[in-house]
Amino acid sequence: MRVLVGVKRVVDYAVKVRVAADKKAVDLSNVKMSMNPFCEIAVEEAVRLKESKAATEVVAVSIGPKQAQETIRTALAMGADRGIHVQTDLRTDQELDSKAVASILSKICADESPDCVILGKQSIDGDFGCTGSMLASLMSVPQCTFAANIDFEKKTVERETDAGTEVVAFPSLPAVFTADLRLNEPRYATLPNIMKAKKKKIATLSASDLGVDLSSGNEVLEVFEPPDREAGVFVETVDELVGKLKDEAGVI
Amino acid sequence: RMPEGKKLNKKMLSRLISRVPRAAQTARSGLRAYTTHEQLPDEHQMIYEMCRKFADEELAPNAGEWDKKHEYPAAAVSQLGQLGLMGISVEDKWGGAGLDYLAYAIAMEEVSRGCASTGVIMSVQNSLYGGPVDKFGTDAQKEEFLIPYTTGDKIGCFGLSEPGNGSDAGAASTTAVSDGDNFILNGTKAWITNAHDASTAIVFATTDKDLKHKGISAFIVPTDSPGFSLGAKEDKLGICASSTGNLIMEDVSVPASNMLGEPGMGFKIAMMTLDAGRIGIAGQALGIASASIDCAANYALERKAFGAPISKLQMIQDKLAKMALARDSARLLTWRAAMLKDSGKSYTKEAAMAKLAASEAATMCAHQAIQVLGGMGYVSDMPAERHYRDARITEIYEGTSEVQHLVIAGNLLKEYQ
C-alpha cells in the first residue's frame, strides 16, 4: 500500500505571532517555521503503517517556497521514503486556499495513485480544516476526518466529534483520512534517521505547471489581533450570577 | 622577531604571517564556519530542533524532580540511546550516528538546557568513554565495549582522577602489574561520573611509577570484575541525578587484551580524550546558561514592579545583556573548537577556551538569573536555583578553570616560539 502524506510548513506553534503593519497578513519575517502539528501526526501514522508492513511506501508532499523542502526532510527523517515539493511563492497561510491545495494534491494523487492519503485535520495557520474533505471529493473517494484511530483491517475509523467519538466504516481504499490530535504521539527523529534522510529523494514541481486553478475563493480583508481579554466580574450570590448570565451575557 | 636596523621586507612579512594562529587559516582552506543556528546545514538544524523538542517535552518537566530525588533518569537515558545521542560521532558500523562534533556540541547544549544531569551522563558516554574506545580501541574491543554503549544499552565511565590527584593527572598511583596474560589493578579513582550506573570503566593506571606520566596505561575494566567495588554515591551540590563516586580496585584482574592503546600511552590518551570532552562540557555549560537566560527573561517580562514589568528596568536589562553576551561568546568559541576538531585540525587551545568561557558563562548566568527572580530565584518552585547548583561543577571537572588557563597559555606561547 502506498501512503501519501501532506506536510505543511507553518509558523511554529510556540511563536507569538504578530500582525503585519499593513494589517493584511501575519508578519512572517524572522519567524520560526515548523511542520504543522497535525501533519506530524499524519506522518507518524503513515510511518507506523510501514513498520507494521501494512504500507510499502510513504510519500511526503509539501506545497510552498523552497524552504518547504526542510519540512519534507523532517518527514523523511521520521521515516517517509521520498518527497514531492510543489513549489509556489503564493503565501500558503492565506493566498493559496483549501480548494487550490486540494486541487494540487488531487493532481499529485492522479500521478502517484496512493492507496491511502493522510492529512492533518487542519493547519494551525489557516485552521480551515477543509482540505481533506475537498480532496476526497475531487478524487471521488471516501473521507474519514478527525480520525482518532484507523483500523485498516476492519476498515473502520474512530472519529472525534464534539459529543465524543463515533465509529464509521469506509467501504474501500483509496480513501482520505485526516488526523486528529489523539491519533498517535509523533516520534522524535533519531540521529541515524536524520542522516538517512539526506539520501532520500525530493522531486520538485512547480504549482503553476500543474494546470490547476490556484486563485483563491477568499479575499482577506483585514488581519487583526483578538481583543484583549477583559477582567471578569465577581458576583455575590447565585441569583446574581443567573441574572447576569440571562440579562447581560444572554446565554440562558 | 625583527632583526635590528632592518626594514620590513616581503620575506620577513611572510615569516611573520606564518606565525598567525592556525584558526585564521580556516577561511583559506575553504571551510565554512557556522555562527548561528540558522546558518547550520540541514542535518545540524534537524538535530538542533529534535534535541530542543526532546528536552522541552521529556527533560525539562522532570529535571526538578530527578534533582530533588537524586534519581538517575533511566527512562530519559534510554531515550537518548534510541535517538542515537549516545554515540553521536561514532561511525555507523559501530552503532553510532556518524555525525560530527559540531552536531554533538549543539545536541549537548539543548539536552543540558532541559536537564544538566542528563547532559553530563550523555557527555561522559560520548566523549570520555566512547571517545577513547573509538579512537584507540581494536576492532575486538570496539565490538564488546563500544557497540552496546553507542546504543545507550550500557553506560561507561572514565577513571582518571584519584583521591590524591585531580589536576595532577600524571601522578596516578593506581597500579597495574602484569602477570603475563593479565594485568592486576590496585587503587582508587575518585569523582567518577556515572560510577554507579556504568558497566565498564576506562581506568588509567601506572605500570612503572619511575616513568612518571609515561608509565601510565589505559585499561578497559568491566565493573562487575571481582575485586571491583564502588564507594558511596557522593552527595553533590548539583547535577544530582547523575551518580558520582569512587571506583575501588582490589586486585582486579583484566586480560592483557583489555589494555587500550599502547603501553605508556595512557596519559596521552587521557589528554586527547579530555580535549574532546571539554567541547561536550562546554555544551553542557551553554545549556545551563541558556536555561538561566530563558528563566530570567521570561520572568522579567511577567513580573511587575513599580507599575510595569521589570524587563523595563535598566538594571534588569543590563544583567540580561551581559548574560546573553557571555553565553553567545562561549557558544561561538565552542562551535569553533568543534569545527576545528571536525576538520582534523589541532584544537586543544580552542577547546580549553570554550570550556573556560562556557563554564564561567554558566555560573554567571545562573547567578544573575537568581538575582533577576529575587526571592523566587531562591526557592525550588523556579528552576533558577537548580541551574545555579548545576553550573558550579562546570568550572571544576574535566579540567579546572585554572588548568584551562595553563593549557591556553601553553599553546599560545608555542605559537611564538
pLDDT at position B33: 85
Name beta bridge partners: B200.
B156, B222
User: Chain B partners of A73 at a C-beta cutoff of 8 Å?
Assistant: 42, 46
Radius of gyration of chain A, Cα coordinates, nearest whole angstrom? 21
Angle between helices B266-302 and B116-123 (to 10 degrees): 160
**Chain A residues lying within 8 Å of B98, measured CB to CB:** 192, 195
d(CA A121, CA A128): 9
Provide the pLDDT for residue B7: 55
Which of B110, B360, B398, B402 is flagged as catalytic? B398
Find the radius of gyration of the CA atoms of chain B.
Answer: 22
Q: Distance of CA B410 to CAs A191, B226, B405, B417, Å?
A: 37, 42, 8, 11
Residue B13 pLDDT: 55
Tell me, yes or no, if A192 comes closer than 8 A to chain B by beta carbon. Answer: yes
Across the range A149-171, mean pLDDT stands at 95
* Whole-angstrom distance, CA of residue A195 vs CA of residue B91: 12
State how far the alpha carbon of B355 is from the alpha carbons of B20, B169, B286, B330, B352, in Å.
23, 18, 9, 8, 5
The cell for B261 is 592503546
Residue A232 pLDDT level (bands cut at 50, 70, 90): confident
What is the interface size between A and B, counted as CB pairs within 8 Å? Answer: 44
Give yes or no for a contact between B289 and B321, defined as CB atoms under 8 angstroms apart.
no
Pairing of strands A33-35, A143-151: unpaired
Interchain proximity A74–B42, CB inside 8 Å: no
Asked if residues B195 and B247 have their Cβ atoms less than 8 Å apart, the reply is yes
Q: Using CA coordinates, name the residue in chain B closest to A67.
A: B42
3-state SS, chain A, equals: CEEEEECCEEECCCCCCCECCCCCCECCCCCCEEECHHHHHHHHHHHHHHHCCCCCEEEEEEEECCCHHHHHHHHHHHCCCEEEEEECCCCCCCCCCHHHHHHHHHHHHHHHCCCEEEEECCCCCCCCCCHHHHHHHHHCCCEEEEEEEEECCCCEEEEEECCEEEEEECCCCCEEEEECHHHCCCCCCCHHHHHHHCCCCEEEEEHHHHCCCCCCCCCCCCCCCCCCCCCCCCCCCHHHHHHHHHHHCCCC
ipTM given for this complex: 0.83
B37: closest chain A residue by CA: A32
Residues in chain B: 417
C-alpha cell of residue B270: 587521557
Residue carrying the nine cell digits 577556551 = B353
Taking the Cβ of residue A197 and every Cβ of chain B, the question of whether any pair is shorter than 8 Å is answered with yes
List, for residues B49-64, the tens digit of each pLDDT value.
999 999 999 999 999 9
Q: Across the interface, do B83 and A188 touch by the CB < 8 Å criterion?
A: yes
Q: Is A74 at the interface with chain B, CB within 8 A? A: yes
B71 catalytic per annotation: no
pLDDT at B80 over 50: yes
Closest in A34, A188, A194 to B43, CB measured: A194
Residue B410, CB-side half-sphere exposure with 13 Å CA sphere: 9
Residue A184, chain B, CB below 8 Å: the answer is no
A188 to chain B, any CB pair closer than 8 A? The answer is: yes
Please indicate whether residue B209 or residue B256 has the higher confidence score (pLDDT): B256
Give the Cα separation of B208 and A187 in Å (integer). Answer: 52
Place of cell 586527547: B272
Indicate if the pLDDT at residue B12 is higher than 90: no
Where does the pLDDT of residue A249 fall: very low under 50, low under 70, confident under 90, or very high at 90 and above? confident
Tell me which residue in A34, A195, A197 faces B97 most closely, judged by beta carbons: A195
